[in-house]
Every structure is written in C-alpha cells, then in structure tokens.
Chains A and B, each alone.
Chain A
Amino acid sequence: MKTAVKKPRKKRSLAVKTRLFFIFTVLLLAGMILLSGFFVIRMERQEYVLNESKEILSVLSDNIYTNIQRYTELSRLIMTDSRVVSFLRADGSKVDQRLVDNARYGAVGVLNVTEMVDSVFIFRDDMRYTANKRSSYSLDFEKIESESWQNKIIEQKGKAIVSLNGNDAVFRIDGSPVISICRAIYDVDTQERTGILLMNFSTSMFEQRLEKINTPDICIMGTDGSFIAGNRKLKDYYDNDYDTGEYIYEIETVKNEDMLVSAVKIPDMPMVILSVSPIRRGIVPNMTIAVMVGVLMLVLGMVFVISSFITKNITTPLFEISTSIESNREKGVLEKVTVDVTNNEIGMLEDSYNNMVDHVNELFNKLLEKEQAIQKVEMRVLQEQIKPHFLYNSLETIGYLAMDAGAEKVHSALETLGSFYRIFLSKGSREIPLKNEITIIKDYLSLQKLRYGDIINDEYDIAENTKEWIIPKLILQPLVENSIYHGIRMKGEPGVIKISSHIEEDGLHIIVRDTGVGMSPEKIEEVLNTEKPQVTEDSERSFGLWGTIERIRYYCNRDDVVKIRSEEGEYTEIEFILPKKGKGDRNVQSYAD
C-alpha cells in the first residue's frame, strides 16, 4: 500500500511556474514596448528635428530674402536720387570732384536709413565711381572693368542680383564677407543704361537675425563655401550640393551622435542656410512619450491585475484545496475541504471533491456495515457450530458414563475440560480478573499434562494483590501454549512453566517463563516488531506470539509494554506490563474498597 501513495508534487510548482511565466511575459511585453517606443521616439524625434529645422530654415530663408528685397527697393531710391542721376547723366568730360561728392551725398541718405548697408558703390559706364563706405574696401578694378563681370549685371536689365563680395570684385579689407546687390542703372527719362550700383551689406545683418533665433545650430554660408554668419564650426558640414536643391537634409553620425544636417538655398541668392542639429538633443516629443509610458503602465497594470487575479482566484485556492486534501491523506480521515472559494471553476472543483468525499465515505460506511454484518453472521455461524450446550451436555453425559463405569479420572478430565471451555468459549466480557485467567491456565495445563504427561510442570507465583486486576481475557493462555509447543516440547526433556505476577510503580507485571529451547535474538526482534511478520512455515510461532503481543499493545495503547528475555537452550521469559493508569487504576480502587 505504501508504495501506491505517491509523494505529492511540490506545492509551490504551480505558483512558481505561473509567476515565472508572468514575470517573463511582463518583461517581454515591457521590452517590446520599450524597443518599439525607442524606434518610434527616434523616428518621431528625427521627424521633429527635421520639421523644426525645415521650418527654421525656411523662415530664415524667407526672412533674409525679403530683407534683401527690401534693400533692393532701397537701392532704387539711390538710383532715383537727383544728385546720383546727375552724376550718372553728366558727360564724361564734365565729371568733376563736385559731381562725385554730390552723388556720394545722395547715396548717404540711404546709408543713414539702415546700418546694415556697409557700402554703396555707384559706377558710371566709364568706370568712374562714387563710394560711400563704413569700412575700408579694396576693389578689383580689373574684374570690374571686365566685360564678363559687367555683362552678368547688365543681362539682368536692371533687376538686382545678389552676390557675395560684389561677385568677387569688392572686398572688405578686414576680410569679412559682404553681401552685394548689383544692378544696372537705367536713366529714368531715356531708359538708357547709365551705370552700375553696388550695394554691400555686412554679415552683421545675419548675425542679428540669428541672434534673435538664438540657436547655435545654424550658419549661413556662401554657395562658394565661404562662411558668412552663424556658428563658424558648422561650416565644415557644407557640401556643394546644397546650392542646388531647395531643401536638403541628411543624417550624419558624428562622434556617435546622429546629426541632422539640413540646408536651404536662399532663392536668387548665392547663400545657403545650414542647420546641423543633434537628433537626440532635440526636444523630446512629450506627447508620444506620454502615450508610450501610459501604454506601458497600462500593460503592466493589467499584468499585475491579471496575475494577482490568478493568484487570488486560482493559485491560492488550488493551493489551499491541495493542502486540505493532503491533510486528509495524512489524517487518514476523509473530511470535506472547506476553502473559501468564489463561485467559479475552482469552487466547482472543491464541490466535486467534497461530493466525492461524501460518496467515498458513503461507500466506505456501506462497506463497513456490510463487513460488520458479515462478521456478525459469521460469528453466529461459528457459535452455532460450537453449540456450547451440546458440548456441555455431552461432557456431562460422558462424565456420568465415566463415573458410572468407575473411571473417576476420566470424569475429572472431562470436568476440567468443561471448566476450561466454559470460560474459554464465553462471549461475555472481554476483560476478566487475573485469577480467572489463572484458572483457565490451570485447567488448560492440567489437560495438557494429561496429553504430555510429566513433561510439563507448572508453578505459580501470583501476588495476592494482583488477583483482582482486570486483564484482557485470554492473553496468558496463548503465551503458555507458545511455551509448550515452541519451548518445552521442542527440547525433549521435562520443563517448567512458571507464571508470576506482581505490582510495580508502572503497573501490573505478568511474567511467563519456560525452560524451553529459548529464542534467538532475531526471533525476538521479529516477534517484537510492530510490523506483521512474513508468514513462512518457520514463522508460525512468531505469528501467534506476535498476535498476542499486538493485542496487549493495543489494549495498553503502547508499544513498549512487552519484554522478552531468553537464552537459547535455557529459557524464555516474556514479561508484559499492564499500566496502572485508566482501567487499571479504576480496578485497583474498586477492588480496594
């Protein structure tokens, strides 16, 4: 049976598995969310930075463009100034210092309107010119006088063109670049070309603008790659491609940092606004992150809720039910499981189990009743078979016959047999006083002596105060029987069976001693073992003796009440103690009265 009961699996397995599974799931989910979030945020950022730079650049570009346009308008004012006109109209021979100075004054008014205008040059067709300057310039006359340079301007037919450093002919001495508006001047009346206007702006105009935006990510470059304004460090990012398209961007990785390099050419001008901004450093798209975090929290929250739901409604009740069932097995009693479970499948499981327990108990009780009924019937049958009346009457009849025939010995043997069976077969009480048990033994031994003659001698040493002790019926007789059949008779020479009793602190001691063949230590151990011995041919003795010892143990409800002392070939002594407490006590008192 023992092997059939499997050790229950470890209790924690379900909970641990579930938890591990959930932790794994949570981690996976969180990881996925973070990863996708990372990419989304990265993209979002990129786009954001892109958009931002695009917007800044286009605004800036527009701004500069309109600014320049405004200055272009301003240049028209210069052209229409009467003093300038007269300078330009004057015949070559009549051009004198006065005319030149007058023209210069005419242009100064314009210069005074804005500080941005660094210088104004007005060239006559014959290359005589007047100049208003805030800084020192060097002019490349060779270039200015060249046809190609002039043609570029003339081709525009009065429309202003914007260039750097007067299309590489006008330079500030200090080396800082200027933005030039060049246009051909036509006479108002004659519509003939009279000269060329060169209006130069210092880069401070851009610096101011950029300062307003207050960003270090932008610089303005000439299409020739020269630096104009802004963050000078950025000029290395310039690429010649930038003056082609309208808006260009690319992502470059510099020092492990993603940079958005974007550029826009200012329309009609040889200038490019370059923006280099790190994508990471860009402003975090709050909304997106908030959504992501929100989703993450939601998922985590759900996972937590689900896992706690599972723990509360599945794992814990299952664990409790399992514990309860397990305790049933340990107790050996089938009791219903009472776990507070909500009305779900686990509750159903509990109900099913309890129903099963009911059913099993019912079956068990039925079986028990049946068994008891069968036992009763069998007992009755057995008793019927024994029919004490018939036996007794027969004994008396034969006894009379024996007496009548003068066989007094036969009669006395029959009388002893009758006396023995009278007690032996009595069903009445299971417990009798020690003296009655001794009577049984005496009758039994006197009958056995008839069979085996002088081989058995019996001695008694029964203390007076033990005679009324109540002992379980027929516990001595099997021991005496054992002494005869497995002790003395095996030895082949006369032996003594001695029964003695006395009272000690711990209760009534009864000792059955025989001078038979004795018992080996292994045999003693086998007999004293609480496990039922294996039934073999050789173990008949062990079994009968074991049964009696078990009865005594059962009666005393203790295992240590029987001792066996023996010397092989010499003697066997079985001593048992019936403790005072409980029944023993009561008896002692009642008999003391």
Chain B
Amino acid sequence: MYRVMLIDDEESARKLLRALINWESLNMEVVGEAASGIEAINVIDEFKPDIAFVDISMPFMNGIEFTELATKRYPNLVIIIMTAIDQFEYARKCVSLPVFEYMLKPMVRSEIYSSLVNVKSMLDERNKQESEQDMEQDLENRDETGESSIEQIKKYIETNYTDSKINLTSTAQNFGFSASYLSRKFKQETGKNFVEYLTECRMNAAMKLAQNNMKMFNASNEVGIPDPNYFGRCFKKFTGMSYSDYVLSKTKPDEVK
C-alpha cells in the first residue's frame, strides 16, 4: 500500500479527492491531510507519505514553499502539484523542483486517475530496485552515543522551536540520524514523540504568551506555527481549551483580584 497525503486548504477539495478515486484499486491509501504547508510540515513525519497532492495556493506557506522544503527532506516523496490555470505558468516558472506532475484544477477524475497509474508504476519499479539493493544499513550502530545526543536534540528543540520549518526529519538530518531511528530513539529516551515534544515546547511558550494577553495570530507566529488555524487546533488539543478561552481564563482571576 502506498501512502497518500493530501495538502490543500480547501476541505471540500480534500474530501472530493478522497472520494473521487478508488484508492484501493491502485494499491493506495489516503493516510492524512493537511490544511496548510505549516501543518503539513508538522504532521508529515507522522504520516510518512509516499505521494503528496499539494495545492499551490495555500495561506501561510504555499505549495511551492512547501515543495521546496519537502523535496530536500524527502527525496523519495512523489509530489503532485494541483494548480488552477491562472497560476500554472507561475508554478512552472518558479519551481525547478522534481515535481512528478502538475495537474489542473478543477480536478477531473480521469486525469487524476491516469496520473496515479503512472505514479504507481514508477513506485513499483523503484521498490523493486531498492529491495534488490537491500538498503538495510541502518544507523542504529550509533546506539552508544544515543543518550547524550537525545539530550542534545531536546536542547536543540527547546532553542529552535520558534523556527516553523523544523520537524523530525530536518532535525534528524541535522544530527546525522535517519528519521525513523531518531523517532524511535526519542520515544525510547523521553517517552514522548518528537512532534509531541516539539509541540509541548511551543504550547508552553504559547501559554505564557496567552497569559500576557497576546493575540492568537501573534502568538502562533512567535512559537513557530504561523498558521493560526493549525496552531489553534494544537493549542486546544494540548490545553483542552481554545486559545481565546484560555486567555479569558487567565485574565479573569486577575480582574477579580
């Protein structure tokens, strides 16, 4: 099963794409969605997609910026850009990226289907080659240096969480690990996911900012999640209440006093 991720700010577009294609017949599975480039960066390590549909026009980090990051970090990721015709030429000019295909919006089932057939055959071919080469040389033999390096990584996260572009893979590349190794090791050492830890750092910082009555869109920027929608969701998940409620709850006692 190939894993498919849909990155589009339009929920209906994501839903339509999900419903349009009989994914199973292509040996594919939609494993996740993201409503912005920012969200995608934060969740991509979780979904580990083989194929990503990326809409060009998205707020906070558009499809092109995301693609630039993603092609560096995930060289094997098959990226299919979705674009309306009025941005088609722009996309073509700006992106000299190894994008698999540019597809015109509004989407037409037959076009997407035939494109996915091509993707599938390419991935099938690639897998065959990889299994022949047997790339089982993991970096786990660095186990000895593990503990200290996790500490270092924690420190790295604590100082760099404001950078909206860091995620598991970028950190792993920074420290010379494979993403999967780091992920596993991090969980082992700290009992938390890398993303959980990163979000925790950001949310703690956000809570402090919220106590200072900072507006959410400013706070979201401050803590490295410049997409306030995604930030809001993260915040609610972390604290159990919405940012505005949290701000209210923290300011009311002061007023009572």
Q: Using a CB–CB distance below 8 Å, which chain A residues touch chain B?
A: 383, 388-389, 392-393, 395-397, 399-401, 403-404, 414-415, 418-419, 422-423, 425-428
Contact = CB atoms under 8 A, between A and B. Distances in A.
A426 B85 contact: yes
B13 interface: yes
B10 A427 contact: no
Contacts of A397: 10, 12-13, 16
Nearest to A416: B108
A418 B12 CA distance: 15
B105 A403 contact: no
B176 interface: no
Contacts of B84: 388-389, 392, 422
B136 to A, nearest CB: 43
A395 B106 CA distance: 7
A419 B89 CA distance: 18
Interface string B143-179: 0000000000000000000000000000000000000
Given A392-B105, A393-B10, A395-B106, A427 B86 contact: yes
Contact of A389 (B15, B16, B20, B86): B86
Contact of A399 (B57, B88, B106): B106
Contacts of B89: 428
Closest 3 CB pairs of A and B: A418-B106, A397-B12, A400-B16
Interface in B78-94: 84-86, 88-89
Contacts of A426: 85-86
Nearest to B13: A396
Interface string B56-86: 0100000000000000000000000000111
Interface of B: 10, 12-13, 15-16, 19-20, 57, 84-86, 88-89, 104-109
Contact of B108 (A388, A400, A418, A427): A418
A400 B14 CA distance: 9
30 contacts: A383-B86, A388-B84, A388-B86, A389-B84, A392-B106, A393-B12, A393-B13, A396-B10, A396-B105, A396-B107, A397-B10, A397-B13, A397-B16, A399-B16, A400-B12, A401-B12, A403-B19, A404-B19, A415-B107, A415-B109, A418-B108, A419-B106, A422-B84, A422-B85, A422-B105, A425-B85, A426-B85, A426-B86, A428-B85, A428-B89
A422 B104 contact: yes
Contacts of A392: 84, 105-106
A414 B19 CA distance: 15
The interface residues of chain A, by DSSP majority, are classed as helix
A397 B14 CA distance: 10
A430 to B, nearest CB: 14
Nearest to B9: A393
A384 B19 CA distance: 31
B59 to A, nearest CB: 13
Given A389-B57, A428-B85, A403 B108 contact: no
Max chain A C-beta neighbours (<10 A), residue from B19, B88, B106, B109: B106
A426 B15 CA distance: 26
A425 B105 CA distance: 12
B107 to A, nearest CB: 7
Given A396-B10, A396-B12, A388 B20 contact: no
Contacts of A418: 105-108
Given A393-B10, A403-B20, 5 more contacts: A389-B84, A396-B12, A399-B106, A403-B19, A426-B85
Contacts of A399: 16, 106
Contacts of A395: 106
A129 B217 CA distance: 181
Contacts of A393: 10, 12-13, 106
A396 B16 contact: yes
A442 to B, nearest CB: 12
Contacts of A419: 106, 108
A87 B16 CA distance: 186
Nearest to B15: A400
A397 B108 CA distance: 13
Contacts of B16: 396-397, 399-400, 403
Nearest to B86: A388
Contacts of B104: 422
B192 to A, nearest CB: 37
Contacts of A422: 84-85, 104-106
B88 A428 contact: yes
Contacts of A389: 57, 84, 86
A401 B12 CA distance: 8
Contact of A396 (B57, B85, B86, B106): B106
B56 to A, nearest CB: 10
Contacts of A427: 86
Contacts of B105: 392, 396, 418, 422
B11 to A, nearest CB: 9
A425 B12 CA distance: 22
B155 to A, nearest CB: 44
A574 B81 CA distance: 41
A426 B86 CA distance: 7
Max chain B C-beta neighbours (<10 A), residue from A388, A423, A427: A388
B106 A415 contact: yes
B108 to A, nearest CB: 5
A299 B186 CA distance: 122
A396 B10 CA distance: 9
Contacts of A404: 15, 19
B70 to A, nearest CB: 23
A400 B106 CA distance: 12
Nearest to B87: A389
A423 B85 CA distance: 8
Contacts of B13: 393, 396-397, 400
A397 to B, nearest CB: 4
A100 B20 CA distance: 187
Contact of A388 (B15, B19, B85): B85
Contacts of B57: 389
